[in-house]
Amino acid sequence: MQARGQWGSQLAFILAAAGSAIGLGNIWRFPIEVGRNGGAAFVLVYLVCVFLVGLPIMLGEFTLGRTTQKNVMGAFLVLKPHSPWLIIGVLGLLSGFVILSYYSVVAGWTMGYFIKTLQGTFVQVSSGEATKKLFTSFIQDGPTVIGLHLGFMALCLLVVIGGVQKGIERWCKILMPLLFGLLLLLVIRAVTLPHATKGLAFYLKPDFSRVTGKTILAAMGQAFFSLSLGMGAMITYGSYLSKKENLFRSALWVCLTDTLVAFLAGLAIFPALFSVGGIEPQAGAGLIFIVLPTLFNHIPLGQAFGAAFFLLLVIAALTSAISLLEVCVAYFIDDLGWQRKKAVVFVALIAFFLGIPSALSFGGAHWATRGIGGKGILDFLDLIFGHFALTLGGLLISLFIAYALGMPKALKELCLETSCPSWLRFFWTWALRVICPVSILILFIHLILTA
Ligand code: PHE
């Protein structure tokens, strides 16, 4: 039996969990969702989802992980063997594989953009139209995109083979503070651009007439994706936690930093987008790849700055992708007794092959672009696994803790070493018993009725 990994300190755990949370979801996907769903009203709905639904479920995942010291499947095998609740584990593992597969494709794009910026590809390109063309032809180039996807997956593999402390923890500690500093610089430049106020208005002035069931579902899905919830990443990371850490403080830090980074990303993108012109806020998957290169041309030392930014984006993606990989790897190690090395290579290889259709879904291959139900393969998988499955996972996890495990047991684990204040017990209990399941259920029913 191999010894199970453990974090070196509470700070290390928070950085690793924040590393998992902060990723392409914040910098790439959050602005896309804001753009598609009408700007500021979406941002407000999103905040409510994070703190009313996301935070209690994150606490729930940490608790499940730490009590059982197991992965997403193992945790339920220990607590309720041979019960239908195992579906949460199956769903979690499946989502881990699938999300990793397309996440790595987009992360590959950021690697490509890092290299292009270094080479000075964007120096002469100043209009939004032109950067759009460059982006479109880049993602149509199948072999390049697949090559970058492979390169990124190899990076994940190298980190995760190092294990919990020497791999995941060490890298997150260095890379997360760096990402934050650069993002801040970028925001300062963006909000001082000409016409930045138009972008700020789009981003910060809510228009509630645009809020529909779809907006709320998108916000909920985005909250789950961004906080890495609903598929066991936080169960797995919580399982490497010692009994003396304060779970609530950790969860609060992760939610706050994750939300702050997403908010800052929007603050960098929308002023730049309106200032550059020629790009719609609804531009979709390519948003940051089209807006940012144009922005960098307006900045002194823009090329160096741009390269550094895309590099950090790769890093943010890396600290998230390793948690997706670890969810599946931990299962093979804990429950099937595999060696870490074998498990990592196996999972990474499968996720690589699974990602190929996504890599080809923007023009690389006709069938992948046509996709399913009018959506390209990548967008389709993101909808089913990145939005829907995570939200369903969150619903099942809250029901499991509130009604199968029972709040008394869960509260005992949450309040182990540190005594919890009574408002926290109250909030968490009712959030898991009522707020989370009811709000998610209403949303699903609304969706089915309006579909
Ligand atoms: N939270 C990550 C991001 O924002 C993505 C992710 C989702 C990671 C689910 C792990 C689990 O990019």
What does 228-272 look like in DSSP terms, one character per residue? Answer: T-SSSHHHHHHTT--TTS-HHHHHHHHHHHHHHHHHHHHHHHHHH
How far does residue 223's CA lie from ligand 1's centre (Å)?
10
Ligand 1 atom at minimum distance from 21 CA: 1
Q: Specify the pLDDT at position 1.
A: 46
Please state, in angstroms and rounded to a whole number, the distance separating the CA atoms of residues 176 and 95: 25
Q: Which residues contact 284 (CB under 8 A, 6 or more apart)?
A: 32, 35, 36
Ligand 1 atom at minimum distance from 323 CA: 10
10-residue mean pLDDT series, the chain (451 residues): 72 88 90 83 92 96 94 94 94 96 96 91 77 89 95 92 73 77 85 86 83 84 92 93 87 94 89 76 75 77 81 88 93 93 96 95 77 82 89 95 93 82 93 94 80 62
> Which residue CA neighbors atom 11 of ligand 1 most closely?
228
* Site to substitute for ligand 1 among 71, 225, 312, 392, most atoms within 8 A of C-beta: 225
How far does residue 395's CA lie from ligand 1's centre (Å)?
18
Q: Which residues line ligand 1 (CB under 6 A)?
A: 20-21, 23-26, 99, 225-226, 228, 231, 233, 320, 323-324
Ligand 1 atom at minimum distance from 258 CA: 4
Task: Look up tokens 């994750």; give the residue.
Answer: 258
How far does residue 258's CA lie from ligand 1's centre (Å)?
10
How far does residue 24's CA lie from ligand 1's centre (Å)?
7
Q: Which residues are bridge partners to 372 per DSSP?
A: 375
Contact present, 177 and 400 (Cβ < 8 Å)? no
Please state, in angstroms and rounded to a whole number, the distance separating the CA atoms of residues 292 and 128: 10
Taking CA atoms, 347 is separated from 25, 91, 94, 329, 337, in Å, by: 22, 16, 11, 7, 15
How far does residue 325's CA lie from ligand 1's centre (Å)?
11
How far does residue 353's CA lie from ligand 1's centre (Å)?
20
How far does residue 302's CA lie from ligand 1's centre (Å)?
29
Contact present, 233 and 323 (Cβ < 8 Å)? yes
* Site to substitute for ligand 1 among 319, 324, 347, most atoms within 8 A of C-beta: 324
Ligand 1 atom at minimum distance from 317 CA: 12
> Which residue CA neighbors atom 6 of ligand 1 most closely?
228
> Which residue CA neighbors atom 10 of ligand 1 most closely?
228
The CB-based long-range contact list for 110-113 (8 Å cut-off, 24+ gap) reads: 110/24, 110/28, 110/310, 110/313, 110/314, 110/317, 111/148, 111/151, 111/152, 111/310, 111/314, 112/138, 112/144, 112/145, 112/148, 113/289, 113/293, 113/310
Please state, in angstroms and rounded to a whole number, the distance separating the CA atoms of residues 278 and 181: 29
pTM: 0.90
How far does residue 307's CA lie from ligand 1's centre (Å)?
23
SS3 159: helix
Burial annotation 161-172 (CB, 10 A radius, 16+ → b, else e): bbbbbebbbbbb
> Which residue CA neighbors atom 7 of ligand 1 most closely?
228
Beta strand ranges found along 339-435 (DSSP E)? none
Which structure tokens are listed for 354? Answer: 């699974």
Ligand 1 atom at minimum distance from 320 CA: 8
How far does residue 195's CA lie from ligand 1's centre (Å)?
33
How far does residue 36's CA lie from ligand 1's centre (Å)?
20
Please state, in angstroms and rounded to a whole number, the distance separating the CA atoms of residues 305 and 303: 5
End-to-end Cα spacing for the chain:
50
Q: Nearest-CA neighbor of 378 among 390, 391, 365?
A: 365
Type of residue found at 200: L
Please state, in angstroms and rounded to a whole number, the distance separating the CA atoms of residues 166 and 162: 5
Contact present, 160 and 333 (Cβ < 8 Å)? no
Ligand 1 atom at minimum distance from 26 CA: 4
How far does residue 18's CA lie from ligand 1's centre (Å)?
10
* Site to substitute for ligand 1 among 22, 97, 98, 103, most atoms within 8 A of C-beta: 103
How far does residue 379's CA lie from ligand 1's centre (Å)?
16
SS3 372: strand
